[in-house]
Chains A and B, each alone.
Chain A
């Protein structure tokens, strides 16, 4: 099993367990405020939590937090930027440049100041920034919330490409149509925890 989450608890109500196979796209939906983002953040070990998570059988407690997060990467719904230009965030830079046309972004966007980009552009660039670091699992929190239908389609194509290379995806989305299109498996989150799709 690629990712094995066991009894993950803490600020979430009931502890949660789930598994994710290589190349799978698990979509989690549920009402707002139920803790879907928190769940993803806990899997990435960005918020305090109890329980365990294993990648290819190896517990995250066996490695420092940053090592775990480089392999199990969380992508927040609202992207954060720490340098002035886009390119300063991209590593390796050539891989990022190759990505741009596939997501409908201009080539010169790399030299643009982050503050001048639209929310939608920032959201796609944040995805690129994560994907080029080649994590084994990506935890995507509303990855297309600021995108028009065309850009959403392009990003969903990238999800399939990642799956073909064995990357596992866990996606939180409110968009039911999108869930239908991209999910290989679906989970619903309620106060009682996670349950398989009806």
Chain B
């Protein structure tokens, strides 16, 4: 492997594309040049910053520091999962359910991968653990927020149907089964699309990165396959955990529907 090192000049040449776009926006008064430049500046700063942070974390090699960084990432994911929902669970449950599903599923998949397929030494080596955590969190974030969205909106929309089943003597699980299944399906559609398109329509990011860094195409394909499996596993886990936790909260021990525990986010 001989990755081609990028010099500041290389990046500067690349950035001319951003300036070109901004110039076009200015000439044609599209009005997006400010946002474009701001977003590009943020992206550069954020990525360089994380580069330096990771360089530091890798060199220290402390499992506690690694765990702390992973925790911050999981916290940010939990916030994002809850942030754009139309409806919210009352009290701390909203972030509790989103965060619980996110952390549980990511933890399972990352630990599984590090102790079986990847096996770096030591197994918690930050160079492997953190990028893996990031990738899984990104996928889990989408599947958890999609399943929450579908379940919250569905429960309100289908209230009469769900309550009709409960009134006729069905259990809460029977009454909400269709909705739960539909929410999990909705959450997994992007994941399935991603697998279908992999290699045919898009070269996934991991593989592209490894190819550019000089890795053998078949080896990088294998890496990508493993990561896809992990991603799908994480997304499935996340969607199931989110739906299960929400069902506990939206019903009670007497098998009642508890929409009083769900309210609309301020418009």
A contact residues around B255 at 8 Å (CB): 64-66, 69
Tell me how far the C-beta of A130 lies from the nearest C-beta in chain B, rounded to whole angstroms.
7
Q: A82-B161, A82-B178 are in contact. Are A75 and B167 (CB under 8 A)?
A: yes
Inter-subunit contact B169/A73 (CB<8 Å)? yes
Q: Is the interface of A mostly helix, strand, loop or mixed?
A: loop
The 7 A-B pairs at the shortest CB distance, nearest first, are namely A80-B160, A70-B169, A80-B164, A65-B254, A65-B255, A82-B161, A80-B161
Inter-subunit contact A48/B171 (CB<8 Å)? no
Contact size range, B: 20 to 34
Most A Cβ at <10 Å: residue of B158, B159, B171, B256: B256
A contact residues around B165 at 8 Å (CB): 80, 82
Q: State the interface size on chain A (CB cutoff 8 A).
A: 24
Is A159 part of the contact surface with B, judged by Cβ < 8 Å?
A: no
Query: A44 is contacted by which of B162, B167, B257 (Cβ under 8 Å)?
Result: B167
Q: Chain B 169-203, CB within 8 Å of chain A: the 1/0 string? A: 11100000010000000000000000000000000
Is B168 part of the contact surface with A, judged by Cβ < 8 Å?
A: yes
Task: Using CB atoms, name the residue of chain A closest to B170.
Answer: A66
Is B166 part of the contact surface with A, judged by Cβ < 8 Å?
A: yes
Inter-subunit contact A69/B166 (CB<8 Å)? yes
Tell me how far the C-beta of A4 lies from the nearest C-beta in chain B, rounded to whole angstroms.
19
Is A112 part of the contact surface with B, judged by Cβ < 8 Å?
A: no
Inter-subunit contact A133/B161 (CB<8 Å)? no
Inter-subunit contact A70/B168 (CB<8 Å)? yes
Is A28 part of the contact surface with B, judged by Cβ < 8 Å?
A: no
6 contacts between A and B (CB under 8 A): A65-B256, A70-B169, A73-B169, A82-B158, A82-B161, A130-B167
